[in-house]
A and B are shown apart, each in its own frame.
Chain A
């Protein structure tokens, strides 16, 4: 029963007193139970959202750090107004990290999307072995990301298997030190990300592809449309929402990229693979300037909240469709 309906029932009970007494009581019981059932989740959300955000806002306006010798509640003594935020604007390392995060996203997400879509197209109809191949192709996304990081760290060693495979094509020994070259290290972490998350695109896009009505495809074929025309005029428009959801999920998750990357390179060599999460992690644990970190984090949260509202609208549209 929706809230609106419950309200309506209560109003009815008031206008026709006596006759509607019974449903009114039932409605009260229901809404009270509903409240009780949602309470734990509400408390957890408040616990992790409201209080930490206020604390973060407070600390972000100060020079407080765990080494300042006073508890965080007395951070006000180290008030620096908006200095953290103005510092942020001119922090080259921060903008460098944002830039690298953007590059990783601009390469990985489209690559994962196109590879996932291509694979999904191959799996659209039935063929022998489909189920087994499908299960195997999903395996990379289930590997613990940190373990994938250790895995790719081994693969990209100069005496490792990646170079071994390359040497077969080159015809001589290849000893590229992938993870100690700035450009190649960035390429390596992107390859690891694409390896791990193409299956997710494949999974979601295939679910969308299967939902494309077959009779429309048949009709288009009868009208003389070739497979590319069918794909662009029927399949893609039908899958629009699903594609947006898949891209949104990967953009959001890719923005957080940390585990695999941090284990493979630690953000290095130098700052060559330092994305925004790695940057915040290092400033938090090495520089310990927590007032500044709080300012960075809040700035990111505000930008992401705007994205959240946008994504939410899309998802609601998809559910209605």
Chain B
């Protein structure tokens, strides 16, 4: 449709305003991460939008290297929380994807598990906060408190609805001729699934896995309740980056926040095409 010039001007003005609003908080964190302490401490100089003396000190600091201008020392570095976030998110994704993909295929092709779609949506609707008491008791009983594998298990369950629904819509969309041909050739149904369907679905599987990984990586509340010290994840660990001497360690927090924020943003852009499908439980496709 042809648009008038005033409309085009208005459109670009509005979009640039929106871009600025979307980007300013992120850029502020980026800038904070590279500022030396006098530029971000409460007692320091006046606020500047861009680091005057860019430095990597904040990154060195969170990884435990002593830096010239930070007076406090960390009792533990960010290394293990990063490892915890990675392990729990990766294995949580593996649990959700394997259970979800298998169940989605079972429902899509053989009509098994008719109860799953509603049950899984309900699982997603409930605030995690409202089921955490029994989960905390169960996890304590199973010895899973403060372990990355305990987190991975609950992440796998919490994101199972997304894995299931995404894969179900992918399977529903997939033409069945090739599978049927393989069946006629004498392949067993299990072989068709593992040797033909799954390899064909490599790209959708990868997108769904990335989507689920982002969700797991983004968790805060569950880790806050189920980890205490050894295996806290990045967001929980970030709270400890303050001290009575210096107050909030803004620079260090920004540096670690940046490390936490970059992977999901890159992955999210990579799977942009499937975001709508994933977020609406397959109700909408792009």
Contact = CB atoms under 8 A, between A and B. Distances in A.
Query: Does B associate with A?
Result: yes
A312 B29 CA distance: 39
Contact of B106 (A38, A155, A255): A38
Contact of B32 (A40, A154, A203): A154
Nearest to B119: A45
Interface residues of B, number: 99
B149 to A, nearest CB: 15
B269 A135 contact: yes
Given A30-B110, A38-B103, A204-B276, A133 B118 contact: no
A142 B265 contact: yes
B190 interface: yes
A48 B123 contact: yes
Contacts of A4: 111
A2 interface: yes
A144 B218 CA distance: 5
Nearest to A115: B18
Contacts of B253: 150, 154
Contacts of B164: 41
A295 to B, nearest CB: 10
A44 B160 contact: yes
Contacts of B257: 144, 147, 150-151
A277 B239 CA distance: 19
Nearest to B117: A312
A122 B15 contact: yes
A48 B29 contact: no
A217 interface: yes
B25 A195 contact: yes
B214 interface: yes
A40 B279 contact: no
Interface in A260-304: 262-263, 276-277, 280-281, 284-285, 290, 293-294, 296-298, 300-301, 304
B168 to A, nearest CB: 11
Interface stretch (A14-22, A78-86, A106-114, A156-164): A156-164
A140 to B, nearest CB: 5
Is the interface on chain A under 10, 10 to 19, 20 to 34, or 35 or more residues?
35 or more
Contact of B283 (A37, A44, A52, A319): A319
Interface stretch (B52-60, B62-70, B129-137): B129-137
Interface string B6-46: 00100100110011011111101100100000000010001
Contacts of B218: 144-146
A154 B254 contact: yes
B130 A280 contact: yes
A37 B264 contact: no
A311 interface: yes
Contacts of A262: 220
A252 to B, nearest CB: 6
Main secondary structure of the interface of A (DSSP, over half): helix
Contact of A245 (B32, B102, B283): B283
Given A48-B154, A119-B14, 19 more contacts: A1-B109, A36-B106, A37-B102, A38-B113, A42-B103, A55-B138, A137-B22, A146-B260, A159-B46, A207-B285, A249-B280, A277-B129, A280-B130, A293-B133, A294-B134, A297-B132, A305-B125, A308-B118, A315-B281
Top 5 A-B pairs, shortest CB-CB distance: A34-B110, A34-B112, A37-B106, A52-B134, A146-B235
21 contacts: A37-B110, A40-B102, A41-B120, A45-B160, A53-B131, A59-B133, A144-B234, A144-B235, A146-B235, A152-B25, A154-B32, A154-B250, A154-B253, A204-B276, A210-B286, A245-B284, A249-B279, A300-B127, A301-B126, A308-B125, A311-B121
Interface of B: 1, 3, 8, 11, 14-15, 18-19, 21-26, 28-29, 32, 42, 46-47, 49, 95, 98-100, 102-103, 105-107, 109-114, 116, 118-123, 125-135, 137-138, 154, 156-157, 160, 164, 188-190, 193, 214, 217-218, 220-221, 224-225, 234-235, 238-239, 248, 250, 253-254, 257, 260-261, 264-265, 267-269, 272, 275-276, 279-286
Interface of A: 1-6, 29-31, 33-38, 40-42, 44-45, 47-49, 51-53, 55-56, 59, 72, 118-119, 122, 125, 127, 133-155, 159-161, 164, 195, 199-200, 203-204, 207-208, 210, 214, 217, 242, 245-246, 249, 252, 255-256, 258-259, 262-263, 276-277, 280-281, 284-285, 290, 293-294, 296-298, 300-301, 304-305, 307-308, 311-312, 315, 318-319
